[in-house]
Amino acid sequence: MPPTVLELEPSSTSRATSGYDDWMFATPDCPASDYARLSHFDLTIYSELDRLAALKPNWDSEGANRVKPEIIKAARDLISALPRSIKAKVKVPAVVPMRKGNLQFEWHDGPKTLELEIENPAIIHYLKWHSEAGIEEEEVRLIADTETVTGLIEWFVQG
């Protein structure tokens, strides 16, 4: 039996023209493409977000709500939007579910704490705290304000 010969146009199999890279590296819903490009920082946090998404109501045995899916998505988008340079500098935060269905990222270093709570899909509520330096700053910002979030993380790294 003779082998089957596929007669394909070169353009349909060439990596440059086939659209493979568009699919592999740019399709936002493709987990394979996502994970291929992610840093340790991203992967660890996304894994934690997956864990939080799977929590059932009453996960704390004291009546906590499950973490809202829209909060998980907003948290994922926020992490995704952070510059690679800052992700390379800062340690991975604790990803903490909250009983009301929100979550927050927490960095701790002795007297210094940074909390970024995803209060709703559009709003971030942060606490910048350094007891020895007398810093107690709490504010609310749009989650799209990546510059402010990056600045807060820079403060934690350098402050």
- Which of 27, 81, 131, 147 is the binder for another protein (CB under 8 A)? 131
Residue 53: Cβ within 10 Å count:
18
- Which of 18, 65, 120, 150 is the binder for another protein (CB under 8 A)? 65
Helix and strand numbers (H, E) in the chain are: 8, 5
**Is residue 46 involved in binding another protein (CB under 8 A)?**
no
Nearest to another protein of 12, 131 (CB atom): 131
Residues listed for the chain: 159
**Is residue 145 involved in binding another protein (CB under 8 A)?**
no
**Is residue 155 involved in binding another protein (CB under 8 A)?**
no
CB of 6 to another protein, least distance (A): 49
Q: Which stretch binds another protein (CB under 8 A): 13-21, 28-36, 71-79, 88-96?
A: 88-96
Rounded to whole angstroms, the Cα distance separating 71 from 104 reads 10
Is the alpha carbon torsion for 116, 78, 93, 95 positive or negative? positive
Beta bridge partners of 124: 118, 141
Query: In terms of C-beta density within 10 A (0-12 exposed, 13-18 middle, 19 or more buried), how is residue 16 classed?
Result: exposed
Nearest to another protein of 18, 141 (CB atom): 141
* φ/ψ of residue 141, rounded to 5: -140, 160
CB of 133 to another protein, least distance (A): 14
Binding positions for another protein, rule: CB under 8 A: 44, 48, 59-65, 91-100, 104, 106-108, 110, 113, 115, 117, 125-127, 129, 131, 136, 138-140
